[in-house]
């Protein structure tokens, strides 16, 4: 029996699957991860992009907007892993996807907004930190591409920021509570494409496992929770996950 067979056998009688996704799900769509060998944080110092520095330093904001514009995230399309999760949802087996990703590709693939719990926000919206006005990010990117390196709110002149959680910002409480409810209520948790090293987000699979859920990890490389999982599968999300979904549906 292969590890893949063992994983399918682990999940085959489960009816309330919760999925936890990290950057490894989106790298196959051309979006670089953060902590991998060629990740974003190997090229820039993450301590330069804290929330406090974003608010107080124009240079940090200029670099942040340029990084967003150059990232390719707005052109990215869902891949086979995203589509497999939609298949799982259509089959009635998926209770939700809790994600660390900010790209909106789960929804672009076809998952309803209320099925996706975005612990770190979503890059596709921009909000004013002072008057709460908001816009699609594409509108602001056009301003940056036109030469406005540190765009401000056109209504009040305040600092604007993509709706993504920065270092030093708390995760959105409503999303945290929803993730916790889903973790306590699922009968299996699948972590895909995450090193499970970023907390408090990585507590979600732990909470599910401690509540009695079966635990499967799919990742390229080791994670910090391999010792907790019932099965660990090494491989690309877009290759492993569709095979599992076919085995379950």
Query: For the chain, what percent of residues have pLDDT higher than 70?
Result: 94
DSSP state of 224: T
Per-residue pLDDT, 190? 98
φ/ψ (deg, to 5) at 111:
-75, 135
| Residues linked to residue 99 through DSSP beta bridges, in sequence order | 21, 118
**How large is the average pLDDT for residues 228-236?**
97
Among residues 82, 106, 120, 152, which one is catalytic?
A: 120
Per-residue pLDDT, 110? 98
Q: Provide the CATH number for the domain formed by 1-31+78-120+171-249 in this structure.
A: 3.40.50.1220
Per-residue pLDDT, 43? 58
**How large is the average pLDDT for residues 188-209?**
96
Per-residue pLDDT, 36? 55
- With b for 16 or more beta-carbon neighbours within 10 A and e for fewer, the 103-121 pattern comes to bbbbbebebeeebbbbbbb
CB 179 within 8 A of CB 117: yes
**How large is the average pLDDT for residues 119-148?**
93
Q: Does 168 have pLDDT greater than 90?
A: no
More confident residue, 30 or 114: 114
Two tokens, residue 238: 């877009």
Whether 120 is catalytic: yes
Per-residue pLDDT, 73? 83
Task: Count other Cβ atoms within 10 Å, centred on residue 160.
Answer: 25
All residues at 6 or more sequence positions from 126 whose CB lies less than 8 Å from its CB, including other chains: 134, 135, 136, 137, 139, 140, 160, 161, 162, 163
Per-residue pLDDT, 155? 93
Domain edges within the chain: 1-31+78-120+171-249, 37-71+121-164
**How large is the average pLDDT for residues 24-29?**
93
Query: By mean pLDDT, which of 42-46, 158-162, 202-206, 230-234 is the weakest?
Result: 42-46
Per-residue pLDDT, 140? 94
Continuous H helices in the chain: 3-11, 51-56, 58-70, 80-90, 105-109, 137-145, 173-185, 203-210, 237-248
Q: Provide the CATH number for the domain formed by 37-71+121-164 in this structure.
A: 3.30.1600.10
Residue 39 confidence class, pLDDT cut points 50, 70, 90: low
Query: For the chain, what percent of residues have pLDDT higher than 90?
Result: 82
Per-residue pLDDT, 174? 96
Reported as half-sphere exposure (CB side, CA atoms, 13 A), residue 156 has a value of 11
**What average pLDDT does the structure give for the chain?**
92
Q: Does 186 have pLDDT greater than 90?
A: yes
Q: Does 42 have pLDDT greater than 60?
A: no
- Would you call 31 exposed, middle or buried from its count of C-beta atoms within 10 A (0-12, 13-18, 19+)? buried
Per-residue pLDDT, 48? 79
User: What DSSP string runs through 210-221?
Assistant: HTT-EEEEEESS
All residues at 6 or more sequence positions from 94 whose CB lies less than 8 Å from its CB, including other chains: 17, 18, 19, 85, 88, 115
What pLDDT, in 10s, does the model give residues 52-92?
Answer: 999 999 999 999 998 887 777 888 999 999 999 999 999 99
Per-residue pLDDT, 83? 98
């Amino acid at each position: 029996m292969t590890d893949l067979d063992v994983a399918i056998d682990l999940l085959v009688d489960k009816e309330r699957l919760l999925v936890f996704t990290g950057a490894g799900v989106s790298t196959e769509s051309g979006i670089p991860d953060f902590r991998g060998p060629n990740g974003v944080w190997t090229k820039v110092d993450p301590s330069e992009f804290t929330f406090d520095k974003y608010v107080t330093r124009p240079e940090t904001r200029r670099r942040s907007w340029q990084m967003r514009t150059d990232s390719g995230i707005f052109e990215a399309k869902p891949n086979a892993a995203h589509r497999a999760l939609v298949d799982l949802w259509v089959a009635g087996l998926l209770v939700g996807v809790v994600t660390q990703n900010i790209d909106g590709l789960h929804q672009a693939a076809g998952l309803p907004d209320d099925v996706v719990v975005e612990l770190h926000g979503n890059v596709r919206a921009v909000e004013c930190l002072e008057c709460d006005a908001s816009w699609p990010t594409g509108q602001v990117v056009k301003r940056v591409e036109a030469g406005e390196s540190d765009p401000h709110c056109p209504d009040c002149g305040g600092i604007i920021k993509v709706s993504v959680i920065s270092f030093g910002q708390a995760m959105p409480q409503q999303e945290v509570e929803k993730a916790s409810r889903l973790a306590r209520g699922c009968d299996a948790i699948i972590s895909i494409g995450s090193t499970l090293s970023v907390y408090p987000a990585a507590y979600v699979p732990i909470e599910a496992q401690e509540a009695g859920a079966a635990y499967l990890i799919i990742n390229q490389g080791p994670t910090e929770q391999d010792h907790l999982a019932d099965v660990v599968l090494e491989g690309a999300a877009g290759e492993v996950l569709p095979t599992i979904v076919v085995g379950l549906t």
